[in-house]
Structure 1
Amino acid sequence: MKTVLIPTDFNENSVYLSENILKNFKDEPIRILFFHAYKLTDSISDLLMLSRRSTEYGQIPESFHRACYDFKKTHQAQIDTIGVEYFYGSTMAAFRNFAEANEVDFIYCPETYSFRQISKYSINPDVFLNKSGIPILQVIQEDEAPVKIKKAIVLEHEAAQLV
């Protein structure tokens, strides 16, 4: 099973746009993980209560939950789970730890996705996504081969240095 990380502002359209990636995984169930990035606060009391924060979960509209439920039900043969996670941090190391902890295999960022801040602590994840070294899925057109993956340039440079 592969895990696909998808940035979102919790608009139900991001769920429907993720249908395009199912063509890449015809023979394998996938786990879809929607996420939103937040910078860490400077307040010590906020940091102590970080694990108990529920305000972020309150920002997810019911329409997003409904869209996830319907999407999983419609594609239950291909989708193992759909989840929501928050990334708290502002460094590449923190993002890599987040991706490793969630066993992310691929990143999918729909062409129509544009970052929308949903909180004063929201940050644009584009830098993390593009420099992480995690393969980025591209949408497959009907006449293309089953899998088309764009590898991040960072990965190629790291492999060249190891040889």
Structure 2
Amino acid sequence: MIQRVLVPTDFTVNSLRIVLEYLENNKDEQVELVLVGGYKLSESISMLLGFTLDDHLAELQHDDFLKGCEIIKSRFKDKVVEMYADSMISKNKRYIRNYLKGRKFTQVVLPDAFEFQEVENSFDVAALLRSQPLALPQVIPVVMGEDERSRHDTLDSFFFRKKWRFSYE
């Protein structure tokens, strides 16, 4: 059975460390990774009418982040069936419950210590899920050890120094 896994992100290369820790320390099971960032929608009617998830995600996902995702998919091609981004657009308890249930997540990854970068109108999904008294799917804690890579938000600091053998297309 393929596990659908929610992984919180802020769409920086640094946040891909959470994905790496999860994949390197998890069982050899196939997963569908959904990288979820938090976004507070404006209450203005023009914003609500003009908002599309695809446009919003295209703005947030920079080239290095997308390349990092491709490298992870290439490196863990036996584990990662699919990997894509999504946004949680409300902090409302009912919305969160319906979001988790509707997308049929089987696991939620929660890093123990990670500082997400907050850009305008964003929020930390991991902190929100920890604070909500909800029945979450299976929670997978990820220990984020501090090392020299945690201070850099660049591709080479996470991937190329690991001396992995992979093909990037």
Q: TM-score, normalised by structure 2?
A: 0.72
> What is the CA-CA distance between 1:67 and the residue it aligns to?
0.5
* 2:77 paired residue number: 76
**Aligned: 1:125 with 2:125:** yes
Larger mean Cα displacement after TM superposition, 92-101 or 44-53: 44-53
Larger mean Cα displacement after TM superposition, 5-14 or 82-91: 5-14
> What is the CA-CA distance between 1:65 and the residue it aligns to?
0.3
Query: Do the aligned residues in 2 keep the contact of 1:32 with 1:83 (CA within 8 Å)?
Result: yes
Query: Do the aligned residues in 2 keep the contact of 1:95 with 1:128 (CA within 8 Å)?
Result: no
> What is the CA-CA distance between 1:9 and the residue it aligns to?
1.2
Separation in structure 1 between the aligned mates of residue 126 and residue 72 of structure 2, nearest angstrom: 25
> What is the CA-CA distance between 1:7 and the residue it aligns to?
1.2
* 2:139 paired residue number: 136
- SS of residue in 2 equivalent to 1:10: coil
Separation in structure 1 between the aligned mates of residue 6 and residue 105 of structure 2, nearest angstrom: 6
Q: TM-score, normalised by structure 1?
A: 0.75
After superposition, the CA RMSD in angstroms is: 2.0
The percentage of counterpart residues that share the same residue type is 21
Separation in structure 1 between the aligned mates of residue 124 and residue 74 of structure 2, nearest angstrom: 30
Distance 1:19 1:56, change over 3 A: closer
TM superposition outliers: structure 1 runs of 4+ over 4 Å: none
* 2:114 paired residue number: 113
Query: Do the aligned residues in 2 keep the contact of 1:40 with 1:90 (CA within 8 Å)?
Result: no
Extract unaligned runs of 5+ from structure 2: 144-169
Distance 1:80 1:89, change over 3 A: same
Structure 1 counterpart of 2:27, from 25, 28, 36: 25
Distance 1:65 1:17, change over 3 A: same
- SS of residue in 2 equivalent to 1:32: strand
> What is the CA-CA distance between 1:19 and the residue it aligns to?
2.1
* 2:61 paired residue number: 60
* 1:88 paired residue number: 89
Q: Deviations over 1:134-159 (max 9, x none)?
A: 1320248xxxxxxxxxxxxxxxxxxx
Separation in structure 2 between the aligned mates of residue 77 and residue 60 of structure 1, nearest angstrom: 24
